[in-house]
With several copies, the nearest count.
Chain A
Amino acid sequence: MAEDEFEDIGRIENVADRMAAEALIIDVDGFEGPLDLLLTLSRTQKVDLRKISVLQLAQQYLEFVKKAKQIRIELAADYLVMAAWLAYLKSRLLLPPDPTEEGPSGEELAAHLAFQLERLHAMREAAAKLMARDRLGRDFFVRGIPEDMERVKRVTYTATLLDLMQGYARIRTRDDFRPYTMDRDAIFTLEQALERMRGLISFAGTWTDIASYLPDEFSADPVRRRSATASTFAASLELVKEGRVEIRQNNAFAPIELRRKD
């Protein structure tokens, strides 16, 4: 319940009071880090966090750490780092500023520490307010019998005007309509070339220019010739791989020749 959530946060103040009374006998683990401890200590000053005396706070903290160290040896590093830093801050605040020293002034550091404390305090209060809100499953509730969404699959059929006309053309065309495919009559395929070469290769006892293997109907037209040359060359390589022929070329752009391998 709400009180439970509060408890954690409320405890800080209780602890703060108790602490003040019990002269700082404290389990370090009870604090969530040096900032938490500082916040708790600062709350005992009972002033606006913005007007807090950082010097006094640093003094209290160092005091605390010193005592705590006597009781509990294993003070977490965080606490000691903070102690060292606060000692430094204290000295910066007490001594007149050293003009040769760079970096933020003691006042700036103190102001930031005050800001951090105030911010942490504000967040804790906000957390408490948040937890105190009406909450789902405790103060207000969802629908007890939600209705399952039924999943319905709808199939829509579509067709385009083109489909329609192709369909009609298909029916009305005397000669069998076939869907458009690329007509590759200028293409001499690798399969065709292989087949042709396999038939001819046994006659190639001597080195022969592969150009002589091109089919007649593919030799004249440059487009067809190109396709046939490429395929025949590829087919030749295939046959070399199979170990049936040898292939050679004496120079760049020289004729490519092949010969049956015995």
Chain B
Amino acid sequence: MQEETDNKEESLFEAPPIAEQERMCEAIMFASAEPVSVGEMEARMPHGCDAAEALVHLRKRYEGRGVRLVKVGDAWAMRTAPDLGFLMQKESFETRKLSRAAIETLAIISYHQPVTRAEIEEIRGVSVSRGTVDQLLELEWIRFGRRKMTPGRPVTFVVTQGFLDHFGLESARDLPGLKELRAAGLLENRLPPRIMPTSLDSDEDDAEDLQEGQSELFED
């Protein structure tokens, strides 16, 4: 330590400028298969170099960049910035059909919103699993609505804008009513559901099929 200053002054002559040393450290760290200690770096650099000093500069240079200088034990290495870790993932996508339970639950929410879990269960005739609701929440197709002003003040579910976007609806009111579903053959066994899309233009009379509760939501 005490000698360092002397050495430096002595060797300053031959040693490359600090900016050049910085470049060297940069290249060494980049190419090295493992973290490199200051000693090792200096051993590879021309005589008189001060790797520690160069590293201070280099570290500063990389502040806020996509990669940074990190100390690993007593060695140094370059690493990608932790906030960019997501770039190092190769995502593979798989599309799966929503389960029947989820679709039914979603359908009930869309037609009856705002609707409580108890109401969903009543309509479906089976209990609604937590996972199903969670999945729909995660898909951001439903969200929590206002609490019902009934005993227990249960939470309600409503569909989201994301839901409307996904299904190409302007509002939940655009969902065809039971009458149309029937006309489209969805409530009868015979007709192929292929005929569906034509009947999507909604008119007012589906209100009969929808339960009263939801209209408040769309009052805007």
Residues of A that sit less than 8 Å from B by CB: 4-5, 8-9, 32-36, 38, 78, 81-82, 85, 88, 103-104, 108-109, 112-113, 115-116, 118-120, 122-127, 129-131, 133-173, 177-178, 180, 183
Q: Pick the residue among B79, B102, B168, B191 that contacts A161 (CB under 8 A).
A: B168
Name the residue on B nearest A131 (C-beta).
Answer: B103
A119 to B186, CA, bound (A): 5
Whether the pair B197, A85 counts as a contact (CB closer than 8 A) is yes
Name the residue on B nearest A181 (C-beta).
Answer: B189
CB-CB < 8 A to A156: which residues of B? 93-96
Interface members, chain B 113-146 (any A CB < 8 Å): 123-126, 135, 139
CB-CB < 8 A to A170: which residues of B? 104
For the A-B complex with A38-B125, A141-B27, A154-B93 known, give 16 more contacts whose Cβ atoms are closer than 8 Å.
Answer: A35-B124, A118-B184, A123-B108, A130-B110, A139-B85, A140-B168, A142-B33, A145-B78, A147-B31, A150-B89, A155-B93, A158-B97, A159-B102, A163-B97, A165-B175, A165-B196
In this assembly, does B82 line the interface, its C-beta being within 8 Å of a C-beta of chain A?
A: yes
Whether the pair A103, B193 counts as a contact (CB closer than 8 A) is yes
CB-CB < 8 A to B93: which residues of A? 137, 154-156
- How far in angstroms is the closest Cβ of chain B from A176? 9
Q: Pick the residue among B34, B96, B123, B196 that contacts A158 (CB under 8 A).
A: B96
In this assembly, does B157 line the interface, its C-beta being within 8 Å of a C-beta of chain A?
A: no
In this assembly, does B153 line the interface, its C-beta being within 8 Å of a C-beta of chain A?
A: no
A7 to B181, CA, bound (A): 23
- How far in angstroms is the closest Cβ of chain B from A255? 37
Whether the pair B107, A109 counts as a contact (CB closer than 8 A) is no
- The interface residues of chain A, by DSSP majority, are classed as helix
A35 to B184, CA, bound (A): 20
Known: A126-B176, A140-B81. A168 touches B135 (CB 8 A): no
Number of residues in B with C-beta < 8 Å to the partner? 67
Shortest 4 CB-CB distances between A and B: which pairs?
A35-B125, A33-B126, A127-B107, A104-B193
Whether the pair A112, B193 counts as a contact (CB closer than 8 A) is yes
- How far in angstroms is the closest Cβ of chain B from A117? 9
Known: A5-B103, A32-B126, A180-B189. A151 touches B85 (CB 8 A): no
CB-CB < 8 A to B110: which residues of A? 130, 164, 168
Q: Pick the residue among A8, A112, A115 that contacts B103 (CB under 8 A).
A: A8
Known: A135-B167, A147-B31. A81 touches B197 (CB 8 A): yes
Whether the pair B91, A141 counts as a contact (CB closer than 8 A) is yes
Name the residue on A nearest B94 (C-beta).
Answer: A155
Name the residue on A nearest B101 (C-beta).
Answer: A32
Whether the pair A183, B106 counts as a contact (CB closer than 8 A) is no
In this assembly, does B80 line the interface, its C-beta being within 8 Å of a C-beta of chain A?
A: yes
Whether the pair B190, A149 counts as a contact (CB closer than 8 A) is no
Whether the pair B31, A141 counts as a contact (CB closer than 8 A) is yes
CB-CB < 8 A to B178: which residues of A? 169, 172
Provide a sorted-by-A list of 19 A–B residue pairs whose CB atoms are within 8 angstroms: A34-B125, A78-B126, A82-B197, A104-B195, A127-B104, A135-B95, A141-B85, A142-B77, A145-B34, A148-B88, A152-B91, A157-B102, A164-B167, A165-B181, A168-B104, A169-B187, A172-B181, A177-B187, A180-B189
